[in-house]
Amino acid sequence: NLPNGIQISVATLLKDVPTEDLDYVYEQLDDSIKNKSFKNFYHRMVLNDGTERIIRVLGDISPLSTSTK
């Protein structure tokens, strides 16, 4: 039960993804990093009560550091 618009970690994103979908999700995230551009995507997740949901992942690629060197 996360509110809309909050930032979450990759670990939080992946914890409820079914095992058979993890390769797809990792591929989407890896492509975003390689291309320095985030493409929205959908994937399944299984809630604590066993129900399945389809979620849309939205994001931005941002630098790890804001150094101005």
CA–CA–CA angle 15, 19, 20 (5° rounding): 140
This prediction has a pTM of 0.69
Task: Name the band, by pLDDT with cuts 50, 70 and 90, for residue 67.
Answer: very low
Burial class (CB in 10 A: 0-12, 13-18, 19+), 30: exposed
Task: Answer whether 41's CB lies under 8 Å from 28's CB.
Answer: yes
pLDDT of amino acid 11? 86
Residues contacting residue 18 through CB under 8 Å, at least 6 positions apart: 44, 45, 46
pLDDT tens per residue across span 44-66: 999 889 999 998 887 776 666 44
Instruction: Please report the pLDDT score of residue 51 as a whole number.
Output: 95
